[in-house]
Amino acid sequence: MSSSNRELVIDFVSYKLSQKGYSWSQLEEEDENRTDFAAEEAEMDGVLNGSPSWHPPASHVVNGAAVHRSSLEVHEIVQAADVRQALREAGDEFELRYRRAFSDLTSQLHITPGTAYQSFEQVVNELFRDGVNWGRIVAFFSFGGALCVESVDKEMRVLVGRIVSWMTTYLTDHLDPWIQENGGWERFVDLYGNDAAAEVRKGQETFNKWLLTGATVAGVLLLGSLLSRK
């Protein structure tokens, strides 16, 4: 089964929204039918079309031709459904481990339609400042999902589609190369499938050591590195 990065992001965000009683399909329909946000969209263009601080990595070269492939293309062995399920479970475990700190994560950002992109960019850049690992990828998805939920909670539903697009772009441009070089999503399923992260937690004698209080936004997200040292 093939699946795009966008579909993976949508599945995760949809799952997180459903946990709070929200419907992705309903939000998507509202977005399609929305006709009174033209002025707001024009205002946001300046932000969205600005030059982000990250830059796409060099494309891979195959037989002399530059190409960029999604890590979830047809050639991937692992089924997309397995990836989605493993990512959902890992995200739930991440949020459970850091529940107290994570609960205040998005509220610390004071998201508005005019500041959402800058806040997203700042946090994600800080998260991957020291490199990529599977734990930080899980934290990335958890952050994006929480940001979408926060947006709906605060009656800023228009932001959900934008956040999904920002996540998809970053995943494709910056995380795919690392994913491909580290066993692909098949490796992720090996590490996190069958609720593996929860099983590890249950075997720990001092679960509370994983819980932090009063952490900064960046600090909370960097805890994702603890989920995987592999």
- Give the pLDDT confidence score for residue 13 in this predicted structure: 96
Range of the domain at 84: 5-44+73-227
Q: Is-contact 227 138, C-beta < 8 A?
A: yes
Query: Does any domain span residue 50?
Result: no
Alpha-carbon 209 to chain mean position: 25
Does position 44 have pLDDT exceeding 60, yes or no? no
Residue 31: inside a domain: yes
More confident of the two residues 49 and 84: 84
Q: For residue 208, what are the CA distances in angstroms to 105, 139, 185, 223?
A: 19, 19, 30, 14
The reply to whether 67 falls in a domain is no
Verdict on whether the full-model pTM lies above 0.85: no
Asked, for residue 28, whether it belongs to a domain, the answer is: yes
Binning pLDDT at 50, 70 and 90, where does residue 10 land?
Answer: very high
pLDDT confidence of residue 63: 46
Express each pLDDT in 117-174 by its tens digit. Answer: 998 998 899 889 889 999 999 999 999 999 999 899 888 989 999 999 999 999 999 9
Least confident window among 33-37, 104-108, 206-210: 206-210
Residue 94 sits in a domain whose CATH number is 1.10.437.10
For residue 1, CA distances in Å to 82, 83, 119 come to 10, 11, 34
Cα–Cα–Cα angle for 214, 130, 229, rounded to 5 degrees: 80
Round the average pLDDT of the chain to a whole number and report it: 73
Q: Is the pLDDT of residue 108 over 90?
A: no
Cβ(185)–Cβ(71) below 8 Å: yes
Tens of pLDDT, residues 66-76: 445 565 554 45
Nearest-CA neighbor of 207 among 199, 218, 195?
199
How confident is residue 107, by pLDDT bands cut at 50, 70 and 90?
A: low
Whether the predicted pLDDT of 18 surpasses 60: yes
Q: Give the pLDDT band of residue 177 (cuts 50, 70, 90).
A: very high
Q: Is residue 136 part of a domain?
A: yes
Q: How confident is the model at residue 109 (pLDDT cuts 50, 70, 90)?
A: confident
pLDDT for 29: 65
On the question of pLDDT at 215 being above 60, the answer is no
Return the pLDDT at 197.
60
In a domain, 93, yes or no: yes
Q: Are the beta carbons of 197 and 227 closer than 8 angstroms?
A: yes
Tokens of 105: 């994560």
Q: Rounded CA gap, 134 and 197, in Å? A: 12
Asked if the structure places residue 49 within a domain, the reply is: no
Q: How many domains does the chain have?
A: 1
More confident residue, 216 or 163: 163
Question: Which strand (E) or helix (H) includes residue 62?
Answer: strand 60-62
50 or 7, greater pLDDT: 7
Nearest to 137 by CA among 159, 108, 105, 170: 170
Q: Residue 55 domain-assigned?
A: no
pLDDT of residue 14: 95
> What is the reported pLDDT for 51?
45
**Higher pLDDT among residues 197 and 226, named by residue:** 197
